[in-house]
Structure 1
Amino acid sequence: MTNNCFSVFTLTMEWLTLPDVADRLGVPITRVRQMVRDRKLLAVRSEGVLRVPVEFIQDGALLKGLPGLLTVLSDAGFTDEESMDWLFRDDPTLPGTPVRALAENRGREVKRRAQALAF
């Protein structure tokens, strides 16, 4: 990743290309690109290729609560990079990372924290 906020994550995260995401979701690549444009799915560019963290796909679907959470973060003024950083940064009040809490079906807690960022 070219952005400094990803330096910690690039070594520890598994990334999917958009065609890989399309395969895992069982949808056309055009639909995945539309999800990224509509900010229902977050992708970052690395070496000229858009990539999505594997954690965003769970059981053949987008991680439950992710699209709504991305909207909340965007409304709070977060850039894509800041949103990605926030999602994967440890939060001792959860505990763990917001993305892990989403995967554990604790989306309400995560959304409440994200909404508090807007104020």
Structure 2
Amino acid sequence: MKPLSPSDLVSLAEQLEAMRRKALDELREVDVPASLAPEVHDRADEAETERVDDMRLAEAAIDRATVRDIALAEHRMSTGDYGVCIDCGEGIPRARLFAQPTAVRCAACQTAFETHSPH
């Protein structure tokens, strides 16, 4: 497999930065003051408010994980480990990295990881 070119790394770094900005923007949106929440009138309103709060917390957790994964990818770029599968040590295909710039495993190792991970 052909290694990533310097221009590939620049493009991927830009993609990671765009992903970070989006995740941080979404995290800022979660910090809406409670005073802006709709007034609760009955059990159905209360349940809906709770459901929306739970969704927002889950989305915030995903955004925080994304920011963490981006930081790890940038660290791997700085150490020269970016694009190398953490399980088999082979190169992660360029197409996979452009589709998922935070990938730490090649597709085969990721499938094996997901198959053997408890859900």
Query: TM-score with structure 2 length normalisation?
Result: 0.27
Greater helix proportion: 2
Structure with the greater relative contact order (CA < 8 A, sep ≥ 6): 1 or 2?
2
Mark the structure with the bigger radius of gyration: 2
Greater strand proportion: 1
Query: TM-score with structure 1 length normalisation?
Result: 0.27
